[in-house]
Amino acid sequence: MLFCNIFLTLVLFFTFQTYLVESAETVTYTAPHTAVYENTDTASFDHTYIYCQPTFAGLRSPLSSYAVVTVQVWITHGYCSDLGLELDAPNGDNIMLTNRRGGSYSNIFYGTLFTDSAPYSVANYPYSGSGVVSPLRPESPFSTFRGHNPNGKWIFYFFDYYAGYPGTVSRTIITIQGKISTILQLIEKIKTNNKSKRKKSTVITMN
Ligand SMILES: [Ca+2]
């Protein structure tokens, strides 16, 4: 099995790869800490991989421990377990969003939002038919990227591991939200105040 995976990887890397065109992509900054990358290029792939390279700039670094990263994809595919999706951060950290999931069903990932807050993981969702499943947690959490500089070039890969049944991607959205929500900010403030009070109290007791 290991040999099989290595062989497939080698075949994929020596196969022609396509970059989703830059003219179809935009990055929108809605706040100093939030960026939305969207690529509407359409490309088909079978037994190869394609990719896009969003570049983010001006985000607060490092990503806070509350940062939320999500990815939404629109991929038509007749046999979804052919697929692998991988997101690489500028520092080289990477996670798999899906790795050979969805069995023989079609179009499971046509509109899927991958988010750490989804009730089901892509790995344990009870797939029982064709059609979009959303939202899903990725194979490894997006929180992997917290604590690192989000600015720079990210790479998002679309793999198709087996010949036959091509995939077609028509839209990709990657969102990085580094800003702490108002409620979380309030909770943090209360925690900080409580710690401060406890420290003062300890000092008084010792004196
Ligand atoms: Ca295929």
What residue segments make up the domains of the chain, in order of their start? 2-181
Task: Report the pLDDT averaged over residues 190-195.
Answer: 67
Q: pLDDT grade, residue 178 (50/70/90)?
A: confident
Task: Give the range among 123-127, 135-139, 189-193 with minimum mean pLDDT.
Answer: 189-193
Of residues 125 and 5, more confidently modeled? 125
Distances (CA, A) of 11 to 64, 126, 159: 38, 31, 12
Ligand 1 centroid vs 47 CA: distance in angstroms? 5
- Give the pTM: 0.81
Task: Report the pLDDT averaged over residues 181-197.
Answer: 60
Share of the chain above pLDDT 70, in %: 78
Is 10's pLDDT higher than 70?
Answer: no
What's the token pair of residue 103? 């069995």
CA–CA distance, 135 with 196 (Å, rounded to integer): 40
CA–CA distance, 122 with 120 (Å, rounded to integer): 7
Cis peptide bond N-terminal to 119, omega within 30: no
Is 7's pLDDT higher than 90?
Answer: no
Whole-number average pLDDT of the chain: 86
Task: Report the pLDDT averaged over residues 80-100.
Answer: 98
- One-letter identity of residue 93: D
Ligand 1 centroid vs 11 CA: distance in angstroms? 13
CA–CA distance, 85 with 70 (Å, rounded to integer): 13
Task: Give the range among 12-26, 49-63, 192-206 with minimum mean pLDDT.
Answer: 192-206
Ligand 1 centroid vs 18 CA: distance in angstroms? 15
Architecture of domain 2-181: Sandwich (2.60)
Going by C-alpha positions, the residue among 155, 172, 178, 182 that lies closest to residue 69 is: 178
Task: Give the range among 56-60, 78-82, 96-100 with minimum mean pLDDT.
Answer: 56-60
pLDDT score at 129: 98
Ligand 1 centroid vs 167 CA: distance in angstroms? 7
pLDDT score at 198: 53
pLDDT score at 3: 47
Ligand 1 centroid vs 156 CA: distance in angstroms? 18
Ligand 1 centroid vs 166 CA: distance in angstroms? 5
Is 97's pLDDT higher than 60?
Answer: yes
Of residues 60 and 183, more confidently modeled? 60
